[in-house]
């Protein structure tokens, strides 16, 4: 390594900030990944996500506004979050989703490295170009079947052709040089879609895709049963029956949720999300914010704390719009919290310091695994649609 290469690395190490204690839990896990649900609404009705009768939606005034989401995102990025994923519901149904992505995309100059989207793809093809321009770096496309008829059964809606249009547009943009990580998330259920596992794997023969198979997880209203749950090891054996060379590859990072495998000669990879049979809690670096402004430190826990209510205290409990946010900033006495060493000071208002203290207390209460529960099938939690994927 040349001196020209070494010197910038030494300087970067010398100026590195200590990671935020607000985002570090008692098991030394540093939370650099924030998932934000931007809506409770969805244009599909997937069986494993939403009860057949639907779910009661929060009143609009209870949901986070775009300025509130942007302000919270900025706060987390200042504390060391490197990756933000927008989820739902279906995030593309939010009317101002493009403005929201543009505002969060601006945080790339503040330390944000990845801006991702989890989507069903039904309408993404119409907004994809603008989202890439806003800074979109990754798409997780939820697609549980490659059969149009089965798609309608599993989602209780039509729309397979529109989803495939989105998939093909992402692949085309990647061919043209767009740096978009594409992952396809498929929830596998015994007796429903396990016969399609090999077909999903074969999508990666020519394309740079990671198809991720998700073990069926229990949430309120999705009628989970042990008999429907197909384990990671069973899925591996199904693939190996046709592709015996399937083998595990080096994990991309210590915080990866999926176990990554590959068929020799295929461009794409295969991932397995094994929440039910082999948890990955020990390296979890994720926090979640629900559409109604609650912080969840664990997907499987029902413990939540409201950031929305504290954020609105200075606005008489009302929703914060752009003007209100600017007024609140001007009215607050700015205080400085200086990090050790030669790092630049980070300025936080009294309100933001209270937010960080609330966040920090919640993070410190995070359990070692699965919210401290024994068996996940016994848990009581929101329906997945109201948590945010």
Domains of the chain: 34-308+359-387 (3.20.20.70)
The DSSP secondary-structure symbol of 246 reads -
**255 neighbors 33 (Cβ within 8 angstroms):** yes
DSSP SS3 for 102: helix
Length of the chain: 389
* H or E element that contains 67: helix 66-78
Instruction: Quote the Cα angle for 149-150-156, to 5°.
Output: 90
Q: Is the peptide bond before 89 cis (omega within 30 degrees of 0)?
A: yes
Tokens of 31: 């939370």
Q: What is the pTM of this model?
A: 0.88
Predicted confidence at residue 329, as pLDDT, reads 75
Torsion angle, alpha carbons of 65, 69, 71, 77, to 10:
180
Per-residue pLDDT of the chain (389 residues; tens, 9 = 90+): 555 554 555 555 445 568 999 999 999 999 999 999 999 999 988 887 777 777 789 999 999 999 999 999 999 999 999 999 999 999 999 999 999 999 999 999 999 999 999 999 999 999 999 999 999 999 999 999 999 999 999 999 999 999 999 999 999 999 999 999 999 999 999 999 999 999 999 999 999 999 999 998 765 544 546 778 899 999 999 999 999 999 999 765 566 778 999 999 999 999 999 888 887 688 899 999 999 999 999 887 778 999 999 999 989 999 999 999 888 777 664 444 444 444 445 567 888 999 999 999 999 999 998 655 445 455 555 555 555 55
Q: Is the peptide bond before 334 cis (omega within 30 degrees of 0)?
A: no
Predicted confidence at residue 119, as pLDDT, reads 97
CA distance 317 to 193: 47
Q: Where are the beta strands (DSSP E) in 175-257?
A: 181-188, 210-215, 247-248
CA distance 219 to 209: 28
CA distance 389 to 387: 7
Predicted confidence at residue 338, as pLDDT, reads 43
Q: Cβ atoms within 10 A of the Cβ of 67, count?
A: 20
């Amino acid at each position: 390594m040349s001196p020209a290469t070494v010197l910038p690395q030494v300087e970067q190490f010398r100026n590195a900030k200590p990671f935020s204690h607000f985002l570090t839990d008692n098991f030394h896990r540093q939370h650099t990944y924030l998932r934000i649900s931007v809506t409770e609404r969805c244009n599909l009705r997937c069986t494993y996500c939403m009860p057949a009768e639907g779910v009661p939606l929060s009143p609009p005034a209870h949901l986070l506004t775009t300025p509130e989401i942007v302000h919270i995102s900025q706060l987390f990025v200042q504390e060391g979050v490197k990756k933000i994923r927008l989820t739902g519901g279906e995030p593309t149904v939010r009317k101002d989703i493009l403005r929201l992505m543009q505002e969060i995309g601006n945080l790339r100059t503040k330390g944000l490295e990845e801006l991702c989207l989890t989507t069903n793809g039904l309408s993404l093809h119409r907004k994809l170009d603008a989202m890439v321009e806003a800074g979109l770096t990754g798409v997780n496309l939820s697609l549980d079947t490659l059969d149009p008829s089965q798609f309608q059964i599993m989602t209780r809606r039509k729309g397979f052709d529109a989803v495939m249009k989105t998939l093909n547009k992402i692949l085309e943009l990647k061919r043209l040089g767009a740096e978009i990580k594409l992952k396809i998330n498929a929830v596998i259920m015994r007796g429903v879609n396990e016969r399609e596992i090999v077909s999903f794997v074969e999508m990666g023969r020519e394309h740079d895709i990671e198809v991720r198979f998700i073990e069926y997880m229990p949430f309120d209203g999705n009628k989970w049963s042990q008999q429907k749950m197909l384990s990671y090891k069973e899925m591996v054996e199904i693939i190996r029956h046709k592709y015996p060379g399937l083998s595990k590859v080096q994990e991309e990072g210590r915080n990866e949720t999926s176990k990554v495998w590959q068929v020799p000669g295929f461009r794409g990879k295969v991932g397995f999300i094994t929440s039910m049979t082999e948890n990955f809690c020990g390296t979890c670096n994720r926090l979640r914010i629900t559409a109604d402004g609650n912080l969840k430190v664990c997907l499987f826990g029902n413990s939540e704390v409201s950031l929305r209510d504290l954020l609105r205290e200075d606005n008489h409990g009302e929703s914060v719009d752009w003007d209100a946010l600017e007024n609140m900033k001007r009215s607050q006495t700015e205080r400085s919290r200086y990090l050790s060493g030669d790092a630049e000071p980070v300025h936080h208002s009294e309100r933001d310091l209270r937010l960080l203290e609330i966040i920090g207390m919640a993070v410190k209460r995070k359990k070692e695994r699965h919210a401290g529960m024994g068996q996940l099938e016994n848990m009581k939690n929101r329906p997945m649609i109201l948590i945010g994927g």
